Chains A and B, each alone.
Chain A
Amino acid sequence: MTTTFVLQIIVTGLVTGSIYMLIALGVTLLFGIMRVVNFVHGEMCMLSAFTVYYVSVSWGMPFLVGVLAAIVFSSVVAVLCQKLLFKPLNYDILTCFILGIGASFAIRSATWAIVGPEPVAIPATFPGVFVWHGVFVAKQRVFAAALCGSLAVALTAFLHYTKPGRAMRAVEQDREAALLMGINPESVYVTVFVISAILAAIGGAMLGTLFGADPEMGADPLLKSFIIVQIGGMGSVLGTIIAGLAIGLSDSITGTVFGGELAFIFDFAILMIFLIVRPRGLFGYDV
């Protein structure tokens, strides 16, 4: 095994892991603050990829306009889900869980009916390949990884250094105390859903440029997100960042060294070890 080969595995893993990390951050944010396991998150990635496709490919608008449209559309869907599905259920974890599965199926089936069976491609914003000491990586992947990494840092800063971010953390720590301090938890919940939707939208757009868009594309990232969030610790942003990159690396190592069909087995093996040895994950808390 050469140094180039090892570097190729690491670069591939970190790049893929950063996209999974971004999508998983939306899941952990919703769970951490609201205790909502949102099964619709993967479908928002998928809807965003299709929005980017229709706006920037079918209608010929710039890619950035497509991403902005995806953010708006995804945010509207998220707020509708919050107001019409999760709020009437008082954010009860079990009923939201079940309803989320149903809503996810419904959105996926509706997309099948509307867009048809053919997968569609979104051209890369940065076509071409970087070659560095024999290591190959597509420029679009580097762009996606850099964007996802920057957004993860921005989210961390937002949560720690801005007033809305602190309000979100206050609601997460003690909803009643936050209410007494003049924070309206309901408006915080809307903000959380919108931020989660933005992360899904950008993650979905990046996935679309790398792998194309089809109605089933949300399922895989959602499953990875749940694994990442469980390993990182439910509700932990730092844990999600570390676990996201780790799962990306794990996929790359197992896929490259042992073969592609084994990657998911290793992911679940890691998850099972965590559930047995450290059920609250890296930085989470007991649920």
Chain B
Amino acid sequence: MADETGAAVPATRSRALRRRSFLAATGVAASFPLIRRTAQAAENQIILGCSIPLSGPAAPTGITTQRTIDHALEQINAKGIMIGGAKYTIVAQYYDNKYIPAEAVTVVEKMLSDGVRYLFSSGSGNSVPVVEKTTAMKCIQLSGASGKDHLTNPKFPFSFRVQPCNETAYAVYPWMKTTYPDVKRIANIGPSDEAGFTETADRRMLAAKYGYTSGANEFFKRGAMDFYPVATRLAQDKPDLIDFGGTIGRDQGLAVKALRELGYKGKILLGYSDAKSFVEIAGPDAAEGTIMFDTLSEPQNDAEKQLHDWWIAKHGPPMPSFAYLMWDWPFILAQAIQEAGTTDTVKVADALRKTEYHGLFGLERFGMKEVYGLDSSLTRDIPMSVIKGGKPVPLDVVAWPAGV
């Protein structure tokens, strides 16, 4: 063994150098993004690339999404998608974006170079940075994300948003005006990223449209632990209602807990939530009275009950409410491909805009041309519930407003 100068290196030092190199390589490898691939394309298979958070603070939603998509595809593939007499199936490939935009760009670029032309992307921070790339490749991008016109506008005809996000406010705000007439001043809180900014922008715009006074507008770092500082600012503003907009997961519970501990007595509106987990983190007292949009408390019909029962049997309780939100869109995609009669993404994109699907939430279709310039954002009824006695109780189902 010799070093760079040709001089002999003692065996012990050589071993130490090798050991260090090995350890360094191990450490570096451990920090690389975890990429999970489950399948390769075969004949009559449609690959659905999924850029979702499978680790990191947003992993609960990512893992729920993965499990739900897998089960939906089991059902879709059992019947198959018939195109010209041939049976096609959809195969999902999962990539961990860790809810970090740079990771999302990397995994989506990898998918596109591998020939993936159907993509599901979770989170607007991860979806907006890739939409120009997917558009250029004529790849259909289905995003479970807010991001409003940054994702859905005529420049991006292959981009669809499969979960009503900031748009829920178009339905919820007029409903709130009649249901809670005592609410006059609304403050907002959201994560300091694409989702938080776009959600808050729409909600404040709609609050003004419906005659509310806009109060404090606060942002926080997603995954933060201590919400006392931001909650102090909100509580000082003394709003009648605080709209949590794009705040999701554990952040909801911790922020509500901090607000109540700091003496805030007003109403709280939040959504995209797993109600049980939210109540656990916030505590039953703090969570009491929280109004939840687009959050199913318990199964309300046979289809929801079937999904619920499958989840409990397969993964055990509790079933995260978020699974309901991720259930229908794979079926909508399958129906659109079937109706297009081809896997050509140009024709499938056109078919998606015309597809009407009766799912867990009733009639679902891509709409909002009046707002975004084309029908690319999923519209449907919005279930409302409220926390009572530590449990979510169904409150109402808000119909999608006409003309939106």
Contacts and interface: CB of A to CB of B under 8 A. Distances in A.
Given A118-B320, A255-B229, A95 B20 contact: yes
A197 interface: no
A210 B224 CA distance: 13
Interface string B208-236: 00000000001111011111111011001
B250 A119 contact: yes
Given A95-B23, A101-B30, A220-B225, A129 B261 contact: yes
Contacts of B77: none
A216 B280 CA distance: 18
Contact of A256 (B55, B232, B320): B232
Contact of B233 (A138, A217, A256): A256
- Among A89, A98, A217, chain B packs the most CB atoms within 10 A around the CB of A98
A254 B277 CA distance: 30
A172 interface: no
A116 B64 CA distance: 11
B16 to A, nearest CB: 9
B274 interface: yes
Nearest to B32: A105
B63 to A, nearest CB: 4
Contact of B60 (A9, A119, A127, A263): A119
Given A118-B320, A212-B250, A260 B218 contact: yes
A12 B232 contact: yes
Q: Tell me the interface secondary structure of chain B in the complex.
A: helix
Contacts of B263: 129, 131, 136
Interface in A58-76: none
B373 interface: no
A8 B254 CA distance: 18
B63 A117 contact: yes
B230 A98 contact: no
Contacts of A8: 232, 262
B65 to A, nearest CB: 11
B249 interface: yes
B46 interface: no
B59 interface: yes
Given A94-B20, A260-B224, A136 B262 contact: yes
A212 B279 CA distance: 12
B26 interface: yes
Contacts of A217: 225
B84 interface: no
B392 interface: no
A5 B254 CA distance: 21
A252 B23 contact: no
Contacts of A102: 23, 26-27, 30
B23 A212 contact: no
Given A16-B228, A212-B254, A251-B229, A260 B219 contact: yes
- Among A119, A210, A252, chain B packs the most CB atoms within 10 A around the CB of A119
- Among A120, A136, A217, A254, chain B packs the most CB atoms within 10 A around the CB of A136
B401 interface: no
A118 B261 contact: no
Contacts of A118: 60, 274, 277, 318, 320
B58 to A, nearest CB: 9
B288 to A, nearest CB: 14
A16 B226 CA distance: 8
A117 B60 contact: yes
A94 B60 CA distance: 34
A261 interface: yes
B253 interface: yes
The contact size tier of chain B is: 35 or more
Interface in A236-257: 251-252, 254-256
B250 A260 contact: no
B281 interface: yes
A264 interface: yes
A212 B253 contact: yes
A211 interface: yes
Given A102-B26, A112-B59, A120 B228 contact: no
A255 B221 CA distance: 10
A251 B228 CA distance: 10
Contacts of A79: none
Nearest to A214: B250
A14 to B, nearest CB: 11
A106 B261 contact: no
Interface in A1-36: 5, 8-9, 12, 16
A138 B230 CA distance: 16
Contacts of A259: 218-219, 230, 233
Given A5-B236, A101-B27, A102-B30, A12 B228 contact: yes
B250 A261 contact: no
B40 interface: no
Given A9-B232, A98-B27, A121 B63 contact: no
B283 interface: yes
A251 B88 CA distance: 55
B31 interface: yes
A212 B229 contact: no
- Among A8, A112, A117, A252, chain B packs the most CB atoms within 10 A around the CB of A117
A9 B235 CA distance: 13
A190 interface: no
A16 B225 CA distance: 10
Contacts of A117: 59-60, 62-64
B56 interface: yes
A216 B233 contact: no
A12 B226 CA distance: 9
Nearest to B262: A136
Contacts of A98: 23-24, 26-27
A101 B19 CA distance: 16
Interface in B226-277: 226-230, 232-233, 236, 249-250, 253-254, 261-263, 274, 277
- Among B63, B261, B320, chain A packs the most CB atoms within 10 A around the CB of B261
Given A8-B232, A119-B277, A264-B221, 8 more contacts: A9-B232, A89-B23, A99-B26, A118-B320, A131-B263, A214-B250, A251-B226, A256-B228
15 contacts: A94-B20, A109-B55, A116-B63, A118-B60, A119-B60, A121-B283, A127-B283, A131-B263, A207-B225, A214-B250, A216-B56, A255-B229, A256-B233, A259-B233, A260-B224
